[in-house]
Every structure is written in structure tokens, then in C-alpha cells.
Amino acid sequence: MPTISYFYGIAIRMYFGDHAPPHFHAIYGPDEALIDIETGNVLVGHLPKAALRLVQEWRIARQNELRDNWGRAERLEPLNRVAGLEDE
């Protein structure tokens, strides 16, 4: 599962050929959540509130890149790195 972004101790990953709806995995320490790319809803799991706030801010800013990577993952193509919040 490639890590496509990393910021403030949060790793963002995507699986190749993963199930719908389009989502990414956010991992912060022992916590992990699957986040819907379009809505920002937590599909499965949990993140601390502060980490979830950062992930949501990042998701909104990077939504087009996340959509593109989701399509790439479905086609089993290499994923692109997505800038983190620190990279702005």
C-alpha cells in the first residue's frame, strides 16, 4: 500500500484495486481511518480529533489529486505523491 503523503505524523495511503467508494487510509500512530474522498466521511476506524481536522483540511485542498490517484490505483498504475500540509 503506497504512502502518497505524510504530514504532521499522519501517513496517507491508498491500496491498488481497493473497494468503492473512493477513499484513502489515514494512519496516525496506532489509529487508522478510511476517509471518503468526496464527502470526508470516516468509513471505518478512528482518528483523534486534531489529526482528523488536519486530514480533512488536507483532503479538501488535495481532492483533485486524490481523485486522480484513485483512478490510477484502479488501473494498477503507479500513484503520484501528493503534497502534505507542510509542503504549502
pLDDT along the chain (88 residues), means of 10: 93 91 97 98 97 98 97 94 83
The x, y and z cell numbers of residue 37, run together, are 474522498
| pTM of the entire predicted model | 0.93
- Report pLDDT for 18: 86
- Report pLDDT for 80: 97
- Report pLDDT for 17: 80
Cα separation of 60 and 56, whole Å? Answer: 6
Give CA separation, 68 vs 3, 23, 75, 78, in Å: 15, 12, 11, 11
Q: Where are the domains of the chain?
A: 3-87
CB atoms within 10 A of CB 64: 10
